[in-house]
Structure 1
Amino acid sequence: MSKASIIGAYNTAFGAFVTKDKQSGLMTDTKTYYDLLIEAGRGAIADAGLDAKDIDAIYVGSCSPAGFVNQEHVAPIAAEIDPALRFKPMTRCECACASSSVALYDAIYAIEAGRARHVLVIGVEKMNLLPTPQMTHVLACCSHWPSEGSKGWTFPMLFAEYAKGYQSHYGIPTETLEQMLWTVGALGYRNGAENPLAHVRNGPQTVADIMKLNELDERGRSKNMMIAAPLRLHDCSLVSDGAAALVITQTANVSNKARAVEIAGIGHSVERLPENVRPNMYELMAGKDAVAKAYKEAGITAADVDLVELHDCFTINQILSTEALGLSADGRAGFDYLDGRFTRDDRVAINLSGGLKAKGHPVGATGASMHTLIYKQLIGEPIGVPAKKADIGVTFNVGGSAVTNCVSVLRKL
C-alpha cells in the first residue's frame, strides 16, 4: 500500500480576531470564520505548487462552528477558495479538538483507496465572538453531557482529575507538581515568543515569572488564578481563532521530494467518553495505544523521533503525552522537564511552535496546524524556532478529555 505525503501546507496567524465594545460588550469580527478557511485553503494549494483544478476532494475539520459562529454545513465554504473547486466532493469531520487530524486521516483513506490524487485538508475554528460563559458551554458539549457538561464540569476540571490522579499515583508532592507544570508552561511561552504566527508572544518565560503572577494583589486577586486545582490560568491553553491546511497525495506521485514529507504511520484510538468509567486516571491509555499503532506502521521507536508537536491543552496533558509517546518513563516526564529536557537543544524537541499554550488553540484547526508545523520543519522552512535535527517528527492531537487520540509519524523523503 502506497503511503500518502504532504506536498504543501499553510498556517494562518492565530489570535483573537475581534474587537469588543467595552460599554455594550458586543464583539465585532475582524477576520471571519470564512476568511480564515479560505486563506488557509488558498495558501496550502499555492504552497503545493498546484492549481485549484488539481484538487480532487476537500476535508474540513471543525469542532463546533454552529456553536461558535452559527454556521453548520461548513465544508462547502471551501468552494469559495477558487471557482475551479465547484462540484468537488467536500466533507466536514468533527472530533472535538482532534477534528482536523481526523479530517486528514479521512483524506489519507481517500488517497489510499485511489478515489483521489490530490486532497486538500483544512482545519478551522473561530472562538472569540462568544463571551466566556457561552464559549465554555460550547466546549462543554464536547464532554459527556449527561455526567459532565450538564453537571457544570468544564475541561479544566476534567483535566484536573488527570492531574490529581497522576499526583496521587506517583506520590508527587504538591510543590513539586506545581514546579513541573510551571516549567512546562514557561517552555511553551519561550518557544512561542519566536513564532511569528503565535497568539501569545509575550508570555511568562521562566518559572520565576509564573510564580510572580501567582502572588495576590491588595484586593486578594492573582494574575494566575486557580481555575481547577491544581490547574491555574497559565496551565490552560488559549481561546483562539485560526486555520491551517495541507495538501496530500500518494508518495508515488511526488515530483519534488525536497518539499514532500511522508505520513509514515498513523494511530487513531478512542477512549470511553465519560471520565467516571475509565480506569487509570494517571495515564493516557488510548493515547498510548495510538502511539503504538503509529510507531508500528512507521517502523520506528521513540528513540527515532526528532521533534514533536503535542496537545498541551493543559500543562498536565503535556506531561502525560510525553510519557504516552515513550519519550519519558511513566511517572518521570515532569522530572525530565525539571531537568531541562525537551528544549530546542535536546535530542528531541517538543512544541517548538509554542504549542497550544502560546501558539494558540483554535480547536478545529489544531491538528492541521500541528501537521503543518512539523511539515515545515522537515522541509527546512520552519515557522518559529528551527529544529536542531529534523528527519522524523510526530504529532499527538487529542479531542475531548483525552478521548480521541490521533498520532502521526512524519518522515522526510
Structure 2
Amino acid sequence: MKVSIVGAYNSKFGAFVKRDRETGEVEDLKSFYELLTEAGAGAIADAGLEAKDIDAIWVGSCSPSLFVNQEHVGPLALEIDPEGLLFKPTTRTEGACATSSLAIYNAAYAVASGRFKNVLAIGVEKMNTLDTAGVTHALSCCSYWPEEGNKGMTFPGLFAELGKAYQEKEELSPEQLRIMLAHVSALNYRNGIQNPLAHFGPGSIPDINKLTTAEAILNLPESGKGSNPMIAPPLRLHDCSLITDGAAAVVLTSSDNAKANFNHAVELSGIGHVTDRMMLKERIGRLHELRATRHAVDLALKEAGATVDDLDLAEVHDCFTINQLLCVEAIGLSESGRAGYDFMSGKYDPDSDCPINLSGGLKSKGHPVGATGASMHALVYKQLVGEPIGVAAKGNPEVGMTVNIGGSGVTNCVSVMRRLK
C-alpha cells in the first residue's frame, strides 16, 4: 500500500482520576475530550502540518457510551481546531481492542483511493471513571453477550480458556506455564519502567517493588498487600493488562507526497485485517493458537513483500501474558509451543534481533482499549524514524510490525511498517 505515516503522537497513559475511597466519588483529572484533542493536535504538529491541512478524520473509541456517557465522538475531533477543521468529514470506528487500528486502516484506504490527501486517525479511551465492576461490564460487551458476557464470562476468563488449551496442547505443567508467563510480565515491566509515557512507567509499582525478573514475580504472595492472586486460572493479576486512560494519533498521506514533502515517513507497507468467529465455543479445538492472527500476519507480510526475518521490532497484543506467547508464535518468530522457552532465554529482549514490546506493551504501557492500536503504530513509527520513546531498538531499525487484536482473538489487525525517510 502506497500510504505512509508522517506524524504521530502518544499521550501519557495512566489512571487520570482521583477517587475518594470512602464516598466513591470520582474526580476526572484528564477528560476523554482532553485526551482526544491532545493526541490529534500532537500528531498534526509532529507532521509539521496545520489543522486546515487535514482533509478527514477517523476516530477510534471502543465504548465511550459506557465509559463516559458519550456517543457520536467523531465530530469531537473538530475541537482540536474548530476553525481549521470545521466542515471536515469525521468517522468513528469500533472493533473492541483493535478499534484504532481500524481507524488507521480506514484512513489509509481513504488516502489510497485518492479521495483525501492528508488524513488524521485518532484512538482514545477513558476507562477509569468507572469502578472495576463497570469496566468489567463495558469490556464484556465486546464478547458474545448472549453466551459469554451475559453468563458472567469476563475477558480474563476468555483468555484463560486460551491459556488452558495451550497448556494442554503443549503438555505444560501449571508451574512450567506460570514461569513462562512470569518471564513475559518481567520483560514488559523492564521495558515499561523506561517509557516515560507508560502507565507503569518510571516510579510505578513494578519499578518501586523491583518486579523486573520472573523470580520477583514468582515470589509474590498469593494474597494480601502486594500479592499476585489468581484471577482466572492459569492467569494471575500480573498476567493481566491495565485499566488505562489515554490517546494516540497518526497522520497519513500518500507515500509519494510523504517522500516529497515531509521530514519523516514510515510506509504502511502491508495490512492484514482478518476476522474470526466471535463465539469461543465455535473455536473449540483450536484455542491453543491464534489462527486468524497468523493469517493476518501472512497477508501483511505478503503485501509488504517482506518476511519474518526482515522484522526489526514488533509491538504485540499482550492483553494477557498468554496472548503474548500466542502472538509471537502467530508471527512465526517462535515455533509452535516454543514461545515461552524463547522468552525465558531472552530471545525477545531489547538487544535481540526482533525485540518485543519495547514500549512495555499493554501489560506495562497500559491498555486504553480504543487507543491501543493507534499507540502501537505511533510508537513503532517513532522507533523507525529514530525518535524512540523509552527503550530503543538496537542499530538502525527499518521494519516493524504491530499485532493488535480485538476481542478474544476475533478482530485481528497486523501492520508491516517500513521506514521511507
TM-score, reference length from structure 1: 0.98
Shift of 1:346: 0.8
Q: Does the CA-based 8 Å contact 1:258-1:379 persist in structure 2?
A: no
Q: What amino acid is aligned across from residue 3 of structure 1 in structure 2?
A: K
1:214 is matched with which residue: 221, 225, 229? 221
Change (3 A) 1:216 1:76: closer
1:114-263 equivalent positions in 2, closer than 5 A? 114-201=114-201, 202=204, 203=206, 204-217=211-224, 223-254=227-258, 255-256=260-261, 258-263=263-268
Segments of structure 1 that go 5 or more residues without pairing to the other structure are none
CA distance in 1 between counterparts of 2:340 and 2:417 reads: 26
Partner SS state of residue 259, structure 1: coil
Partner SS state of residue 97, structure 2: coil
CA distance in 2 between counterparts of 1:113 and 1:71 reads: 31
Shift of 1:287: 0.3
User: 1:338 aligned to 2:337?
Assistant: no
Partner SS state of residue 147, structure 1: coil
1:30-109 equivalent positions in 2, closer than 5 A? 30-82=29-81, 83-109=83-109
Q: Considering only aligned residues, what root-mean-square deviation do their CA atoms show, in Å? A: 1.0
Shift of 1:215: 4.2
Shift of 1:20: 0.6
2:399 is matched with which residue: 380, 392, 395? 392
Q: What amino acid is aligned across from residue 27 of structure 2 in structure 1?
A: T
1:327 is matched with which residue: 313, 333, 336? 333
Shift of 1:214: 3.2
CA distance in 1 between counterparts of 2:60 and 2:221 reads: 36
Q: Which residue of 1 aligns with 2:370?
A: 364
Q: Which residue of 2 aligns with 1:277?
A: 282
Segment of structure 1 superposing worse, 271-280 or 29-38? 271-280
Shift of 1:216: 4.2
Shift of 1:256: 4.8
CA distance in 2 between counterparts of 1:233 and 1:15 reads: 18
4+ long deviations beyond 6 Å: none
TM-score, reference length from structure 2: 0.96
CA distance in 1 between counterparts of 2:382 and 2:316 reads: 16
1:157-180 Cα shifts (integer Å, max 9, x gaps) = 000000000010111111111010
CA distance in 2 between counterparts of 1:222 and 1:154 reads: 23
Q: Does the CA-based 8 Å contact 1:305-1:394 persist in structure 2?
A: yes
Segments of structure 2 that go 5 or more residues without pairing to the other structure are none
Partner SS state of residue 36, structure 1: helix
CA distance in 1 between counterparts of 2:133 and 2:219 reads: 27
Q: Does the CA-based 8 Å contact 2:314-2:400 persist in structure 1?
A: yes
CA distance in 1 between counterparts of 2:7 and 2:223 reads: 48
Q: Does the CA-based 8 Å contact 1:215-1:222 persist in structure 2?
A: no
CA distance in 1 between counterparts of 2:220 and 2:89 reads: 50
Partner SS state of residue 346, structure 2: coil
CA distance in 2 between counterparts of 1:401 and 1:258 reads: 39
Partner SS state of residue 219, structure 2: helix
